[in-house]
Amino acid sequence: MTFLNRFAAVAVLALSISVLHAAPPATVAGAKTFMDKAEAELLKLGIEQQRADWVNETFITDDTEAISALFTDRLIARTTELVKESRQYEKLPLPADLRRKFLLLKLSLNMPAPSDPKLREELTQTSVGLGSAYGKGKYCPDEDTSHCLGIDDLEERMAKSRDPKELARYWAGWHKIAPPMHDKYARFAELSNQGARELGFKDTGVLWRSYYDMPADQFSAEMERLWSQVEPLYKELHAYVRTRLVAKYGATAQRPDGLIPAHLLGNMWSQQWDNIFDLVAPASAPPTYDLGQIFTERKTTPKEITTYGESFFKSLGFEPLPPTFWKRSMLVKPTDHDAVCHASAWDVDSNEDVRLKMCIHGTTDDFATVHHELGHLYYDLSYRKQSPLLRDSANDGFHEAIGDAIALSITPEYLKTIGLIQTVPPPAADIPILLRKALEKISFLPFGLLVDKWRWQVFSGETKPEGYNAAWWALREKYQGIAPPVDRSESDFDAGAKYHIPANTPYARYFLAAIYQFQFYRAMCREAGYKGPLNRCSVYGSKEAGTKFAAMLSLGKSKPWPEALKQLTGEDKLDASAIVEYFAPLLEWLKQQNAGANGATKPGWTVAANPMKAQ
């Protein structure tokens, strides 16, 4: 036999062997088997990762950080592998529910990782390191390390201080924690983008925006459409607050461009302004109430405050929280070790091991935050009977909106019903109550919009690392109408001083939630048979509203979000008309105040030549 004949024979034999060992063709039945196994495996890995993360966030050490990174890497690695393995089934005529699971698997990574193990490990270590750097962050006045202040302490001081110089020190001091994160974040974005491209997305921002049952570009347009509905109300509120701050602080608050200095708004990020209500309250307003003061006088414990939130959900027909919730949650700040105090809800085992992580001080904000976070947990408990990939909210904006929709029912009537106040303020108090609520809800809207706009620009490459800070302040000026209290430069990294940036938590959900919650709330009020002004409605005790609410929650992610929205509201489009209706009396009042005798207070502001310049 000649060499060529022998080669041909070997080739035929090799081909025969390869045919015998070739993977069988993909089938619908095979796709279902693959998905069942994938869901079971990811559920197990997810529980392990959640437990490791819980320990790291409630007890930060080098060891817990390393353990968290290890389990996060395992989950990301296997998810990435499964996404790639799932591609063999993409062209099959799959049933709609199974096809949805394959799509959700592909979109399940907020932090897509490269397939290269070394790069994936680098990404997870960088991510965990960024989160821990934030958790460990402290401001030490006068470099005195024996009296350092964490963000929890600083937030409390920013809320209460009325000394502009002191406020500027707190603001600048906290923002100093972020510059060391700059290069790590740039590398994080680079690695995450590589992972997104390997999954078939242009960048991580496109992957995130593809999560909303519509094309990524359409989602961006939807965000702007919603903002256009609420922007007039925000600008009237901004103008009114600006005028009152100038009356309080004089030249410190007054800028020729109409921007408000960021440190004067009672919050480290100027994202909610309700802490300065005392400075902007109508002078002739009848007295209302201060829940923080009530809790202090009654010596209300963090557990008791949490129980109020649980009782609201029980009044709608929901079950009590599981006993393990009370054993495993962190409700107070640890005194002997570092922990991340940023409030968050945890569904550790996708079943009944739900927990709250929060450092409760007994403020009015804490009361609302407890309702918000328990909303996450009751959503988790409601959809736990869905299959693993569907144990999530219709979209992440839904998850954030659930508890806030309940918190809108924290009306004077509700507070009297549960015994926190004795007398319901008269109708004349509606304007100050609505004003306080607007300082919480309306002031947040532009910030909720811009955080991810900045990140999308970073991920797309439109904003380069050398321009991170200028882009951040350009957006804050454009949407919020605020300016930094001290000069900034590219040696700063002010975005990193906001938890959700180093923690890699998408933020568009919070903007969406600010809109959804009013849609949910209005629908529940209608279901409860309420007929009065929307801002006076409380659905506390309405089993009818609770039944409709629970039906939407139980769907989890099994249906596209428009179908889930329709389940409760009868509407399948996101619409800000409910929030406009809620604040309609306030909007008219603000217009009157801003017009004044001479029409001197004009809503809006002009673009500064340098958005990073203090004055």
Distance CA 345, CA 369 (A): 11
Residue 147, pLDDT score: 85
Structure token pair of residue 458: 């970073």
Can you tell me which residue has the tokens 């609201």? 312
- List the Cα angle 420/421/423 in 5-degree steps: 160
Residue 63, pLDDT score: 93
Can you tell me which residue has the tokens 């990762």? 49
Confidence bin at 2 (pLDDT 50/70/90): very low
Could you tell me if 558 and 98 are in contact, meaning their C-beta atoms sit under 8 angstroms apart?
A: no
Catalytic residue chosen out of the listed positions 500, 563, 571, 581: 500
Element (H, E) at 483: strand 482-483
Distance CA 523, CA 529 (A): 10
How confident is the model over 493-499, as a mean pLDDT? 97
Residue 3, pLDDT score: 36
| Angle between helices 584-595 and 216-249 in degrees, nearest 10 | 50
Confidence bin at 528 (pLDDT 50/70/90): very high
Residue 600, pLDDT score: 58
Catalytic residue chosen out of the listed positions 39, 65, 373, 440: 373
For residue 150, pLDDT over 60 is answered with yes
Structure token pair of residue 396: 């992440």
Percent of the chain with pLDDT over 90: 78
Could you tell me if 365 and 350 are in contact, meaning their C-beta atoms sit under 8 angstroms apart?
A: no
Alpha helix stretches (DSSP H) within 461-575? 468-475, 508-527, 543-554, 561-569
Distance CA 310, CA 179 (A): 40
Residue 558, pLDDT score: 94
How many Cβ atoms are within 10 Å of 499's Cβ, its own excluded?
18
Residue 365, pLDDT score: 80
Could you tell me if 422 and 416 are in contact, meaning their C-beta atoms sit under 8 angstroms apart?
A: yes
CA 267 vs CA 342, 434, 484, 607, 608: distances in Å: 14, 19, 13, 23, 22
Confidence bin at 12 (pLDDT 50/70/90): very low
Distance CA 177, CA 186 (A): 16
How confident is the model over 405-410, as a mean pLDDT? 92
How confident is the model over 263-273, as a mean pLDDT? 97
Report the chain's mean pLDDT, rounded to a whole number: 91
Instruction: Determine which of 47-61, 107-121, 293-307, 508-522 has the lowest per-residue pLDDT on average.
Output: 107-121
Distance CA 55, CA 70 (A): 13
Note the pLDDT tens digit of each residue in 151-166: 989 999 999 999 999 9
Q: How far is CA 496 from the centre of its chain?
A: 15
Residue 98, pLDDT score: 96
| Angle between helices 508-527 and 543-554 in degrees, nearest 10 | 140
How confident is the model over 603-610, as a mean pLDDT? 87
How many Cβ atoms are within 10 Å of 286's Cβ, its own excluded?
12
Confidence bin at 23 (pLDDT 50/70/90): low
For residue 7, pLDDT over 80 is answered with no
Note the pLDDT tens digit of each residue in 306-327: 999 999 999 999 999 999 999 9
Note the pLDDT tens digit of each residue in 107-146: 887 888 898 999 999 998 999 899 989 989 999 988 777 7
How confident is the model over 501-517, as a mean pLDDT? 94
Residue 225, pLDDT score: 95
Q: What spatial distance separates the first Cα and last Cα of the chain, rounded to whole Å?
A: 91
Structure token pair of residue 336: 């002997």
Bridge partners of 224, per DSSP, are: none
Q: What is the CA radius of gyration of the chain?
A: 26
Can you tell me which residue has the tokens 């069942």? 36
Could you tell me if 352 and 324 are in contact, meaning their C-beta atoms sit under 8 angstroms apart?
A: yes
Note the pLDDT tens digit of each residue in 68-100: 989 988 998 899 899 989 989 989 999 999 999
373 tagged catalytic: yes
